[in-house]
Amino acid sequence: MPQSRLPIVVLISGSGSNLQAIIDAAARGELPVEIRAVISNRADARGLQRAKDAGIATEVLDHTAFASREDYDRALMTLIDRFQPGLVVLAGFMRLLTDAFTRHYAGRMLNIHPSLLPDFKGLHTHRRAIEENADEHGASVHFVTAELDGGPVVLQARVPVHADDSPQQLAARVLEQEHRIYPEAIRWFAEGRLRLGEDGRAWLDGQPLNAPLTLEAGQT
């Protein structure tokens, strides 16, 4: 019997390359999700066209039209909930989220961050990794909580940092890994294997994750 597909909503602010990876994985039958909508806070986000090309509904909710983050997040929650998602996927959504927003979607919102969390939370992760002479860098998929980039990490991919790397070169190497691990973590959630436990930890296949799982760059 065919597996039912988990309804999701994807939030973006930019190019939407992780969105494309999710769209492609779903189209190949590797990801049992139904992308009900792609929502952006920027009308010029390239990812909106990616969604339209795939026949996915798009919405723009411009944050500059709201007086406060709280007002914006309330409107965004109302918009998201119209689509009744089982999971909210942040894919380059460049907004700080209010506590009320993260509580509303507790346990059903994932994010991908371009670093090996807890290292390099926030912005400019690739430049910071190079400046601090890090040996390795990477990407992390985590549940979203009120703490910026601080929710339980589920899955990571690691890449080496080369001595002659520019931030752009390192970013490109990390982005390839983001496109591999994000659909995988979403698939675990959609299959009912992944959840956020009442203990605040991520649980996979009935066991708490005391440390993130790691997918090395060379693994398939």
Q: How far apart are CA 24 and CA 106, in angstroms?
A: 27
Quick check: 170 and 164 in contact, CB under 8 A?
A: no
Q: How far apart are CA 171 and CA 60, in angstroms?
A: 27
> Can you say how many angstroms the Cα of residue 71 is from the centroid of all Cα atoms in its chain?
23
> In the chain, what is the greatest distance between 2 CA atoms, to the nearest angstrom?
52
Q: How far apart are CA 182 and CA 24, in angstroms?
A: 12
Quick check: 27 and 53 in contact, CB under 8 A?
A: no
Which of 63, 104, 113, 137 is an active site residue? Answer: 113
Pick from 9, 166, 178: nearest CA to 78? 9
Would residue 113 show up in a list of annotated catalytic residues for this protein?
yes
Active site residues: 113
